[in-house]
Amino acid sequence: MEMNTKHDGVLFTGTCNAGQFTRGRIGCPTCGRELREEVASTGDAYLICNTADRGCVKPTKSFSSQKELNAWREQAWQTIADICRNQGPR
């Protein structure tokens, strides 16, 4: 079963099969396209949508560092995996 959920305003997709979660992609909440990571020379990290003219917020999400972005991403994936696991085998 495909899972689509928003976490802190960002779209996460993956699959949940018999309580086992497989990560998919992180997408723009406006257009659904995959977000890219960008790190500025200042060290700030961003999730950016490459889609033009669809009203997508640029950047979609900002972080003070790549480390903070990585921690946020892993925490989100873990939360989604826990939801899948709690659904159990079907």
**Domain coordinates of the chain in residue numbers?**
2-87
The pLDDT score that the predictor gives to residue 66 is 96
The pair of three-digit structure tokens given for residue 22, joined into one six-digit string: 């497989």
Q: What is the pTM of this model?
A: 0.86
Contact 45, 36 (CB under 8 A): no
Averaged over 4-22, what is the pLDDT?
92
- pLDDT bucket at 58, cuts 50 / 70 / 90: confident
Give the DSSP per-residue string, 45-89.
Answer: EEEEE---SS---SSSEEESSHHHHHHHHHHHHHHHHHHHHHH--
pLDDT at 79 over 60: yes
CA dihedral 77, 63, 26, 7 (to 10 degrees): 60
